[in-house]
Amino acid sequence: MPRHLTVLILLAVTQVIGWGVVGVLPVIAAPVAADLDASAASVFLGPSVMYVAMGLAAPWAGRAFRVHGTRPAMAAGAGLLQLCRMRDLPWPAHGVPACPIGHDAGRL
């Protein structure tokens, strides 16, 4: 199998797993809310704001794709996302670096 096809398949699988982890919240919201002693609405607030941040960052990501290409833009987004996770930043802060990762995976 050609190397680029292997990379594309692996990236597709990781994209499905990554978005599946974010999208599983409706299934596990009640136990998470009970565990955190919070309302279900507050459990959904973080990811909701993250999606809004991703939408607001979309023009920036589009320019990054145009100017630098898909690979560098996605790599920068992945690096910034890891930095957000290492610094334990809240969900909304994850939206901006997640934007270039969630788009254009098929153009590698």
Residue 59's alpha-carbon distances to 14, 71, 100, 103, in angstroms, are: 24, 17, 10, 12
Instruction: Look up tokens 């589009």; give the residue.
Output: 62
CB 99 within 8 A of CB 6: no
Q: Residue 106 pLDDT more than 60?
A: no
- Beta carbons within 8 Å of 9's beta carbon, 6+ residues apart: none
Q: Residue 64 pLDDT more than 80?
A: yes
Over residues 13-38, the pLDDT tens digits come to 887 887 777 678 888 889 989 998 99
**What's the N-to-C CA distance of the chain in angstroms?**
16
User: Bigger pLDDT: 42 or 96?
Assistant: 42
Question: Where do the structural domains in the chain lie, given as residue ranges?
Answer: 3-107
Lowest mean pLDDT among 25-34, 50-59, 71-80, 87-96: 87-96
Question: d(Cα 84, Cα 78) in Å, to the nearest integer?
Answer: 10
Torsion of CA 75, 79, 82, 86, to 10 degrees: 170
